[in-house]
Amino acid sequence: DDLERLADDIRRADTVVALTGAGISAPSGVPTFRGDDGVWDRFDEGQFAYGRFQRDPAGFWDDRVDLQRELFGDDPDPNAAHEALAAMGRAGALEAICTQNTDGLHGVAADTVTAEAAEPATATTTILELHGNAQRVRCQDCGSRRDSEPILERAAAGDLPPTCDCGGVFKPDVVLFGEQLPGAAIQRARSLARESDVFLAIGSSLSVQPAASLPRQAAETGATVGIVNLDSTPCDSLADIVYREDVTTVLPRLRELVAE
């Protein structure tokens, strides 16, 4: 069937690249942005705005405590889809994961698969976090990074806004609206998309640039493009294969077929 053909293409490919979005973490309990009960239903967009952070960092952090608890409150674990990608990566079948997610779950899955593996890895997968990582904060003055949990605790206890030893204000290490995307990571993602022989877009509405243009770049340079997403996307018409199925159904099967 189609999935077997995709697995064949992956086995034959030199470069396989995945782009992921909120849908891959939905089975882990992290809400998506769009759709019923999504982030945009629950929160004001201002809470993701760099302008708000600059004008009122104390108020921003006060709100951020609730927001971050609601997004990542139950300390989400990677699910079978993250694990399938991590296992494909270890087996040398996945060059890179470009993710729009800030939950850090691809990194956790890679660490878990490595810890459980009997054999040393034959390959590693580059993880490009295009929108940053909410499990970290970054000082706006000296640039140093910390785990977000103790900083959130300080903010929850009224230390607003939380500041670094150097006196600078911490900001969640994510890309807020109105902020520059990490240029080097975006450039790298673009060249990976162009280099790829197989490009998989997984759990993303593909509605936010620049990530949304990666499947087209991949298609234009000859990649086989596969999409796994419950809802239709603007890139479905350029894809070779579209699965409107749950990520935790498709990816573990794909991983098994690739390993055969």
Compute CA distances 159 → 65, 84, 170, whole Å. 12, 40, 12
Query: Site for ligand OAD (CB under 6 A): which residue of 85, 247, 251, 254?
Result: 247
Structure tokens at 208: 């936010």
Nearest Cα to Cα of residue 140 among 41, 46, 54: 54
Question: From residue 36 to residue 55, what is the string marking binding to ligand OAD with x (rule CB under 6 A)?
Answer: --x---------x-------
3-class secondary structure, 188: helix
Q: Does 23 bind ligand OAD (CB under 6 A)?
A: yes
Of 71 and 164, CB closest to ligand OAD:
71
Q: How far apart are CA 245 and CA 7, in angstroms?
A: 17
Segment lying near ligand OAD (by CB under 6 A), choices 2-10, 11-19, 31-39, 234-242: 31-39
Contacts (CB under 6 A) with ligand OAD, residues 159-178: 175
Q: Helix 247-259 and helix 80-90: axis angle, to 10°?
A: 20
82 catalytic per annotation: no
206 residue type, one letter: L
Q: Does 128 bind ligand OAD (CB under 6 A)?
A: no
Q: Does 218 bind ligand OAD (CB under 6 A)?
A: no
Query: Site for ligand OAD (CB under 6 A): which residue of 6, 10, 33, 94?
Result: 33
Instruction: Count the residues of the shown chain that bind ligand OAD, applying the rule CB under 6 A.
Output: 24
Query: Site for ligand OAD (CB under 6 A): which residue of 64, 82, 90, 131?
Result: 131
Q: Answer left, alpha or beta for residue 32, where phi above 0 means left and psi between -120 and 50 means alpha.
A: beta
Query: Site for ligand OAD (CB under 6 A): which residue of 5, 11, 34, 188?
Result: 34
Choose, from 52, 64, 82, 131, the residue flagged as catalytic. Answer: 131
Q: Does 78 bind ligand OAD (CB under 6 A)?
A: no
Segment lying near ligand OAD (by CB under 6 A), choices 20-28, 86-94, 114-122, 161-169: 20-28
Are 206 and 25 in contact by the 8 Å Cβ rule? The answer is no
144 Cβ neighbours under 8 A, 6+ residues apart: 138, 164, 166
Residue closest to ligand OAD (Cβ): 23
Cα Rg for the chain, rounded, in angstroms?
A: 19
Q: How far apart are CA 190 and CA 188, in angstroms?
A: 5
Q: Does 80 bind ligand OAD (CB under 6 A)?
A: no
Residues with a known catalytic role: 131
Chain positions contacting ligand OAD, by CB under 6 A: 21-23, 26-27, 32-35, 38, 48, 100, 131, 175, 203-205, 207-208, 229-231, 246-247
